[in-house]
Structures are given as structure tokens and as C-alpha cells.
Amino acid sequence: MSDCRSCQPSVAEAVVIHPRSVKGKFRSFKTSVLVIAYAVYFLLPWIPWHRPVGHPQAVLFDLVNKKFYLFGLVVHAQDIFWLAALLFLAAVLLFFSTALAGRVFCGYFCFQTLWTDAFRWIEKGIQGDRVKRIRLDKQSWNGEKILKKGGTHLAWLALAFWTGLTFVLYWGYAPELIVKFFTGQAPAAAYYTAFGLMVTTYIAGGLMREKVCQHVCPYARFQSVMIDKDTLVPTYDPERGEGTVGRAKPTKLLKNLDERHAKGVGDCVDCGLCVQVCPVGIDIRDGMQYACIQCGLCIDACDTIMDAKGWDRGLIRYESENGLQHGKTHFWKLRTYGYGMAVVGSVAFLLWSMSGQKLVDASVRQIRSPLYVTLSDGRIQNRYNLKLENKSLQPARFELSIKGLPDAELDMGQIKDFNLRADQSQRIMVKVRKQVKPGDAKHQDFQFVFTPKTGEVHEPVMIHSQFITP
């Protein structure tokens, strides 16, 4: 006879978690973050912002012209290192916050958390509170269940589509792009992106939910190396909650604290509310677990019970391991100082770099086919491709000359000077001719000088090049 244990499934059956609603300061903070985040994300593409160049949209990522418009700031392709600095800042800020207060990013600011909260709010609005949702899951399929479940998924798909479409609107002029989108005139990439994000948002926020945090996101796995005994995390106080004989429900003989303490019973009334409100379905009383996103809802739940009983709050609270053991919590040490300095340094670098952004960018490329030409009058001619980019938001005019090459002639053809509109670039080919004298070096260094005549730039712009002779 085969062993019956071999018939057991190797993977546990997935359990649908229906968190219970709770009120409290952490729930209020989460809701405030959600409202602000959604307002910023969904409204930014529609905020008008008039500037001399580009579309009048506050935030616009113009890939065609290789420019990002962020309110009054224009980010050019040459400024891409700002993105690297911004990503570095995001990373060290995450490390810094985790070292101090655990996974606060996961609990309050993560996109997965924000969209899952919104999806659950929709689910609650259509299907009812936790008890009604559990009952609906268990009942057989009928008209009510089809209507409520179908309505929930349709509402989820609507929010997911709105999410994908809004993302697309950041990459074009929103009033025009949305009309083209619904009239079938938008680029194919717009449809692929919008519907691709719709599908992934629907799956992540509506179907997988906490499974993304537990099994997909790597942050849950390596948080243990970033959290130590001085990190504040939502913690159950077992000394107070368990007493000497454990927790117990508030029976007739265990209603007040004096009676409970006299019998060695802890303050935890074993109501299970902290488990019911948890969005990932764990029991905080079992200690710190990798699945915990540290949102603090279990604290709100426990505080609600303590308030109802008239007992002190803090049975579940943000506390460090050292603090829980009546020791001192050391927030500031070498690691947190290092993360803090990295955050300050990244912010300072970004501000310094943005404030010192060049209003004019000039470049030169010598044409090397051929390297030089000997003219009929004996002079040597070199050719150069010059590019001048006006990054300012005002028109500008520049006069071109050369410096460091005596007796040389500059030929710009029919062009007399550079006339550039706001945020415009111009390329021209110029020729430099010079009579070579005995003893002249084969490679003579000199400078092209762009002298501003009008515009925001007041200092000459110089770029180095060389004149090649036989």
C-alpha cells in the first residue's frame, strides 16, 4: 500500500485574503498618501504649463525631440546623467528609510500597495465588507454573485485601463493624444503600452495582490540584511500581551486588567483583529515575518481594542528589538550616517547640476575626408562641422570667430551668424584657410569662439579644435 502522505499536494492551496476595514492614524496616513499619489499621477498630464517651446503641458516626455519637460525645466539628452543621480538617490533613500523604520516604503508608498488598496476599496464598495465578501466567495454561483463579481472585475479593468492610458499621456500632448487614441490615429506603441499596463495592473492589483509582495518583489527577501535590532518595525509586545500563562479572551473572570494580571494572563484578548486587518494575512503576534509590509494597520486594530477596554495603547507598536527588550534604540550609527550622507550628497549634486545647467551647448567635428586641401593659391583648407544648441527659453544670436590661428580666414558661406530660436540647435559646415609658413606645426591648436549678441547668455562660448597641414 502506498504511503498516503505522498498524495498530499506539494504546494498549499492559495487563500484569498479579505482584510477587514479599520480606522486609525496609520490607516488615515495610508489613505492620504493614496489620494495624493493618485491625484499627482492622474492629473499631472492635464496641468497646463505655458513655455516658449514645446507643448503647454506641465510634465511631458518628448521622445521624438529627445527632451523632457518638467514644469519650467527642460531636460535634454545630454542631461541623462541626472536620471542616474535620481535613481541613486531613490536607492539610498530607500536604504536609509529601511534602516530607520523598516519597510515603510512598502507599507505606504509602493505602487503595488497603492493600487492594491484602490482595487480593494472598489471590491468593498461593490461586494460589501469582509464578512459579506467571504460569504459571497463561499456561496454558489447565482445572479447576485455574477453581478457583484462581474461588476468588481469590470471596475478593476476600468481603473487598470485608466492607469495605462494615463501613463501614455505623459509621452505626448495629452489633449491631442487622447483624441487620437480613441479615434485610432495614435501610434501603435501607445496602444501596446496602454493595454499592456492595463493587463499587468489588473493582474498585480486585482488578482495577485499580496502575492506580488511575497513571491515577486525581491525587496521582501533581502530586507533582513537591512533591518537590525535598532530598526523600528510594527512589533507585538509578548511580555505584556502573553503575561506568564499566555493570552486569553475576556471571559467573565478576565474582564479587567487586575483580574488578568492576578492570574498571569496578558493584555492580549485574542480577538484576532490584528490578523483580520492585515493586507498580507499574517499574525504579527508570531514575530517579524518576511511577508509583513509594515503598514501599521495591526497597530490601529489593537489600539481600537485597547481604547474600547480603557487600557493603555502600545501592545502592538512601532518598536525596535532593543527597545522591546528594555534596551536603548540607537538610531544614528555608522550605517545610518552613511546612508544619510549619501542622500544629502545626491540631493546636493542634483540641485547643483540643475542650477548650473549650460544654456548653450557647442561642439565641433573636423571633417577628415580629406584631412586638408591645398588650394591653387597655396593655402591649406580644413573643414569643420559645428553644432550650436540654444538650451535657454529665449531666442539668441551668436557671432562666430576663431582665436589662436593668426592670419587664418573663416568661411561660413552664406551664413553670417547663428540665429537660434528658444530650445533650438543649428549645424553648419565652415572652412578655415591659412597660408602655411616654414616652421609651422602640422597640428595647430585653436578655438572657435561664439560671441553672444542677444539672448540670455552673456559670456563667449569657446570650443577647441586643430588645424592640420601637410
On the question of pLDDT at 6 being above 60, the answer is: no
Q: Which of 377, 381, 424 is nearest to 405 (CA)?
A: 381
How do residues 389-410 score in pLDDT, each as one tens digit?
Answer: 888 888 899 999 999 998 899 9
- Other beta carbons within 10 Å of 284: 22
Domain 360-468 has CATH 3.40.50.2300: no
pLDDT of residue 270: 93
On the question of pLDDT at 1 being above 50, the answer is: no
CB distance 429 to 385 below 8 Å = yes
On the question of pLDDT at 2 being above 50, the answer is: no
Where do runs of H (alpha helix) occur along 55-110? 81-101, 104
Residue 164: Cβ-neighbour burial (10 angstroms; 0-12, 13-18, 19+): buried
Residues 211, 216, 217, 221: is their CA dihedral positive or negative?
positive
Query: In angstroms, rounded to a whole number, what is the distance separating the alpha carbons of residues 367 and 186?
Result: 40
Task: Tell me how many helices (H) and strands (E) the chain has.
Answer: 16, 14
Residue 401: Cβ-neighbour burial (10 angstroms; 0-12, 13-18, 19+): exposed
Query: In angstroms, rounded to a whole number, what is the distance separating the alpha carbons of residues 307 and 181?
Result: 53
Share of the chain above pLDDT 90, in %: 59
Q: Read off the pTM.
A: 0.83
- Other beta carbons within 10 Å of 120: 19
Computed over every residue of the chain, the mean pLDDT equals: 90
CB distance 430 to 382 below 8 Å = no
Query: Could you state, in order of their start, the residue ranges of all structural domains in the chain?
Result: 37-46+110-225, 233-324, 360-468
On the question of pLDDT at 10 being above 90, the answer is: no
On the question of pLDDT at 460 being above 60, the answer is: yes
Higher pLDDT: 452 or 224? It is 452
Q: What confidence category does residue 255 fall into, taking pLDDT thresholds of 50, 70 and 90?
A: confident
CA 295 to each of CA 218, 256, 364: distance values in angstroms, whole numbers, following the listed order: 18, 30, 55
How do residues 266-312 score in pLDDT, each as one tens digit?
Answer: 999 999 999 999 999 999 999 888 889 999 999 999 999 999 999 99
On the question of pLDDT at 12 being above 60, the answer is: no
Q: What confidence category does residue 42 fall into, taking pLDDT thresholds of 50, 70 and 90?
A: very high
pLDDT of residue 125: 95
How do residues 314-331 score in pLDDT, each as one tens digit?
Answer: 999 999 999 998 899 888
Pairing assessment for the beta strands 418-420 and 443-454 based on DSSP bridges: unpaired
pLDDT of residue 357: 77
Nine cell digits for residue 268: 492580549
CA atoms within 13 A on the CB side of 345: 9
List, in sequence order, every residue forming a beta bridge with 318; answer none if it has no partner.
Answer: 234
DSSP letters spanning 104-140: HIIIII-HHHHHHHHHHHHHHHHH-SHHHHHHHHHSP
Higher pLDDT: 353 or 23? It is 23
Query: In angstroms, rounded to a whole number, what is the distance separating the alpha carbons of residues 236 and 233?
Result: 10
CB distance 92 to 343 below 8 Å = yes
- What dihedral do alpha carbons 41, 42, 45, 50 form, nearest 10°? -90
Share of the chain above pLDDT 70, in %: 97
Where do the DSSP E strands lie in 215-306?
Answer: 233-236
On the question of pLDDT at 13 being above 70, the answer is: no
- Give the 3-state secondary structure of residue 69: strand
pLDDT of residue 185: 94
On the question of pLDDT at 52 being above 90, the answer is: no
Contacts of 443 (CB under 8 A, 6+ apart): 466, 467, 468, 469
CA 134 to each of CA 149, 212, 453: distance values in angstroms, whole numbers, following the listed order: 12, 22, 74
CA atoms within 13 A on the CB side of 210: 19
Q: What confidence category does residue 4 fall into, taking pLDDT thresholds of 50, 70 and 90?
A: low
